[in-house]
Amino acid sequence: MSADYDRLRERANFVRTETIRLIEIAKCGHYTSVFSAAEILSVLYYHVMNLSDDPDWPDRDRFLMSKGHMAVGVYPILADLGYFPKDWLDTYALLGSALGDHPDMRKIPGIDFSSGSLGHNLSNGVGMALGLRLRNSPARVFVIMGDGEQNEGQIWEGAQAASQFKVDNLVGIIDRNELCLDGATEEIMSIEPLADKWSAFGWNVHVIDGHSIHQLVDTFESLPQDSKSPQLILAKTVKGKGLDFMEGTRLWHVGLLAGKDAERAVAQLQ
């Protein structure tokens, strides 16, 4: 299927503008962790993943956000795909809403696994990919991780298991935006050389520009099938990408753009 690059670029910006709108309802949220992954989300949901109108279709591709705090950027996509009514978005983070800062698979159609505690979803994804294989499903499992999250020991337990069991229907993605909450990952707790580490754990590593729609499309489309190895996309990104005052700073990991500031941010994204 040929990609509509302009549309994918537009959908990435849709993720960003909707994130600004939803966080203004909650009065606090994780803008920058969504913005670094907006192109990845757009390409996965609108081009790569095999989905249907039924969010419970057994053979759908799965998407797990191990960095669960990016969920506010995924909810607008799920509503756009028709998995739940769009007016659910207007209740984001309010009492009685299904939609919170971290995703709940039991409340939200289209969420394939709950998350929130970092380091879990890669292991969940390994089990899910093996479970799909046992059930003879052609579905693949995509797991996006944060780069700060690479500090978690369980990531590496999951990494070795995926390699041991030759889980080749699993694609890991690292949103390498270089910042964790307190500062630069390399200053707080270094994770480099990241590509070498994942290679050493038996994964096929693909290092790309995580904001390039072309590179994302090409890489996802050319992932080998039946390779007997899990695939790892190391996506180099910019935390807060799209808003000049947010890019590359730790200060906006959590915050609020209210009123005129939200309007100004949306205008900059146009």
Partner 1 sequence: MELLDKESYHLGHLPAQATSAVAGRVLADIADTDDRIVVFTADLKYSNGTIEFEERHPNRFFNVGIAEQNMVSMAAGMAATGNITYVATFASFLGLLCCEQIRTDAAYTNLPVRLLGHHTGISFGYYGSSHHATEDIGIMRGIANLGVVCPCDAHSFEQALRQTVDVEGPIYFRLGRGRDPDVYTPDMPWEYGKLSVLREGKDGLVIANGIMVVAAMEAAERLSNEGLDLSVVDLHTIDPLDVDNLASQVASANKVFVAEEHSTRGGVATTVADTMVDQNIADVELIRIGFPADEYSEIAAPFYLYRHYGLDADGLVSRISSEYK
The binding site for partner 1 (CB under 8 A) comprises 58, 104-106, 112-114, 116-117, 120, 123-132, 134-135, 137, 154, 157-158, 160-161, 164-165
Question: What's CA 222's distance to the chain center, in Å?
Answer: 20
Query: Residue 30 CB, nearest distance to partner 1 (Å)?
Result: 19
Spell out the residues 6+ positions from residue 263 whose beta carbon is closer than 8 angstroms to its own.
none
Q: Which is nearer to partner 1, 80 or 157 (CB)?
A: 157
- Rounded CA separation 240/245 (Å): 8
- Helices assigned H by DSSP within the chain: 5-26, 31-35, 38-43, 71-80, 121-134, 153-164, 185-188, 194-200, 213-221, 259-269
Query: Residue 55 CB, nearest distance to partner 1 (Å)?
Result: 13
Query: Residue 65 CB, nearest distance to partner 1 (Å)?
Result: 14
Q: Which is nearer to partner 1, 106 or 260 (CB)?
A: 106
C-beta separation of 236 from 207 below 8 A: yes
Q: Which has the closest alpha carbon to 126: 62, 60, 71?
A: 62
Q: Which is nearer to partner 1, 127 or 202 (CB)?
A: 127
Query: Residue 129 CB, nearest distance to partner 1 (Å)?
Result: 8
Query: Residue 164 CB, nearest distance to partner 1 (Å)?
Result: 8
Q: Which is nearer to partner 1, 52 or 164 (CB)?
A: 164
Q: Which is nearer to partner 1, 138 or 183 (CB)?
A: 138
* Percentage helix, strand, coil for the chain under 3-state DSSP, each rounded to 5: 45, 10, 45
- How many of the other CB atoms lie within 10 Å of CB of 123? 18
